Amino acid sequence: MTVKVALVTGASSGIGDATTRRLAQLGYTVYAVARRADRMAALKEQGIRTESVDVTDDAALVALVDKIISETGRIDVVVNNAGYGSYGALEDVPIAEARRQFDVNVFALARLIQLVLPHMRAQRDGYIVNVSSVGGKIWEPLGSWYHATKFAVEGLSDSLRAEVAGFGVKVVVIEPGAIRTEWAAISADNLEAASAGTPYREQARFVSGTLRATDKSRLTSGPAVVADAIGKAVQSPRPRTRYAVGGGARSILFTQRLLTDRGFDRFIRTAYRTVGR
């Protein structure tokens, strides 16, 4: 049988690194993609094909997909994992930074899907796995741009699933909860920089503290739980549309469904100590 081929973006750490390793264990030929090739050296030593690509560089994405097809003749799985969290009050975050957040978290994801779909349609098979977040269903103070991108990924994925089902292409959304990666600390750094000297600095102090506490929480899961869910999804002929995994994901989504919007607002304001601020 022909070895199946997978492409994973944001593969230099965390969920992307763990997913790359899991798919390789399952027998896929895996192309691991990230901006910094040096951070993928360990993956390369294991025989995984690493590519230094900025997912917002259209020409680089086109060349990447062309290379994969040229070398293997197929592409079976795409895991859109690249992304980051841009935090700060809507009032404070420059629109240029908001556009960059959408460029990385939404438009790069959509462009890669555009590039691989013709090949998946020709195969009459394929899996598009979009790593969203519980943040695609819930909201937090000072996270408007980040949550906007994840809500967008959810809606894009739902529409896409209906569009491509007839061609044998499966679309799966992954909704991680609190996962032990670099993401939380980087997001906290962004938040503190954006909020310094602004009326939102006290909110920012609590929210960034909550983000930084993620790694120490007993509720936080390792990235392997996400990688395992992705591995399970791409081996199923009929995967679930969504996998809420790790770090209290199911509990927080259940709470959000149970409460009214105003009720969840109160829950979030209390959790982040923003009442009356």
Residues with a catalytic annotation lie at: 12, 132, 146, 150
Distances (CA, A) of 8 to 87, 93, 186, 230: 25, 29, 21, 11
Strand 77-80 and strand 126-131: the pairing is: parallel
Cα–Cα distance measured from residue 142 to residue 86, given in angstroms and rounded to the nearest whole number: 9
- Residue 87: both structure tokens together: 């935090």
Exposure string of 53-76, with b = 16+ CB inside 10 Å and e = fewer, is bebeeeeebeebbeebbeebebbb
Question: In DSSP terms, which residues pair with 5 in a beta bridge?
Answer: 29
For tokens 């909860």, what's the residue? 177
Query: In this structure, which amino acid lies at residue 270?
Result: T
Strand ranges in 122-211 using DSSP code E only, listed in sequence order: 126-131, 169-176
Q: How many helices (H) and strands (E) does the chain have?
A: 11, 7
Look up residue 176 and give its two tokens. Answer: 């991680």
